[in-house]
Amino acid sequence: MMREKIITTSTRGINQELFPYQLYKKAKRFGVWNPEDIDFSQDKEDWKKLTDRQREETLGRVAAFLGGEEAVTLDLLPMIMVIAKEGRIEEEMYLTTFLFEEAKHTEFFRLVLNELGETGDLSDFGEAYRKVFFEILPETMERLIHDPSPEALADASTVYNMFVEGVLAETGYYAFYEGLNKAGLMPGLMKGVGYIKTDEARHISYGTFLLQRLICEHPHLYDRVIRKLQELAPLAEKVVGRDLDETVETAFGMKIGDFINYARKQMAVRIEILARAKHLSMEEIYKNSGRNVDAT
């Protein structure tokens, strides 16, 4: 495909007021952290103090995050390609930081395991997890390679940004904070989780903006996005609940039902934000994005 013009040298230049460009600037300020700079010495000591059940639960959570971060790192590129081909330079500039951050998150969780001496195979993921990360996510993202339609892009952002990041990952952070953080354990792990949560808030914000833009341009997509989220909701409960009864208590004193309810809440929040934007104009979306989404 031949390029017709260069945007940034034209009278248009770079629109620094666009929300994706604001996210790009925030990524430069807040996203530049190095997993190798984190001190895990206390984590190693705390690891010895955990019960066998607590170690097993923490290992499972770290492994689930590591597998998920690897998956989203591998699967993001088709979305970047679609945005690039549309000539949306400010959005693509932000998405370059998005991919860098996903790779860094993968590095972080692998580093945690290495520092703890846990180098065995932790790939025993449940059926629901495999359904999401081995089937739905890659298939939805790879579809963009041959189908860059608004429908395919909306599906991709719904699965990637709203569901994987906005529901599953957010519930995982909640579990970390309610468990290890409240117990004052493993500060290195929790420091990295804090950085990642901040990075992912920008990712979710972009996904919300992208879906708002797509719905404004193609109103029929709203019902499609909501249906997709509703279809994914039962999988969220199975992934975070691990097919256990809601009354089962975790190794850190939480109930499985607490995680399921948190995931339900996150799903409702994503739907509510999109519903509020349903009747906004494009100008209002660009103007209000910074106030209406969870950017940090």
pLDDT in tens, 18-75: 899 999 999 999 989 999 999 999 999 999 999 999 999 999 999 999 999 999 999 9
pLDDT tens track for 126-174: 999 999 999 999 999 999 999 999 999 999 999 999 999 999 999 999 9
Q: What is the pLDDT of residues 204-222, one digit of tens each?
A: 999 999 999 999 999 999 9
Share of the chain above pLDDT 70, in %: 96
Q: Which residue has the tokens 């945007």?
A: 7
Cα separation, 259 vs 84, whole angstroms: 37
Pick the closest to residue 143 from 152, 134, 131 (CA basis).
152
- Taking only the tens place, the pLDDT of each residue in 79-118 is 999 999 999 999 999 999 999 999 999 999 999 999 999 9
Taking 80 as the threshold, does the pLDDT of residue 2 lie above it?
Answer: no
Sign of CA dihedral 94, 137, 64, 77: negative
Q: Tell me if the domain spanning 39-292 has CATH number 1.10.620.20.
A: yes
Three-state SS sequence of 67-122? HHHHHHHHHCHHHHHHHHHCCCHHHHHHHHHHHHHHHHHHHHHHHHHHHCCCCCCC
Confidence check: pLDDT of 293 > 80: no
Between CA 60 and CA 140 the distance in angstroms is 26
Query: Tell me, what's the pLDDT at 288?
Result: 60
Question: Considering only CA atoms, which of 68, 86, 73 is closest in space to residue 3?
Answer: 86
Contacts of 228 (CB under 8 A, 6+ apart): 155, 158, 159
Alpha-carbon distances, residue 179 vs 159, 186, 236 (angstroms): 27, 10, 20
Asked if 185 and 46 touch (Cβ cutoff 8 Å), the reply is: yes
Please report, rounded to a whole number, the percentage of residues in the chain having pLDDT higher than 90: 83
Ordered by start, the domain boundaries in the chain are 39-292
Quickly state the pLDDT bin for 175 (edges 50, 70, 90).
very high
Predicted pLDDT of residue 4: 75
Task: Please give the distance of CA 118 from its chain centroid, rounded to a whole number.
Answer: 25
**Token pair listed for 198:** 């901040």
User: Rounded to two decimals, what is the model's pTM?
Assistant: 0.92
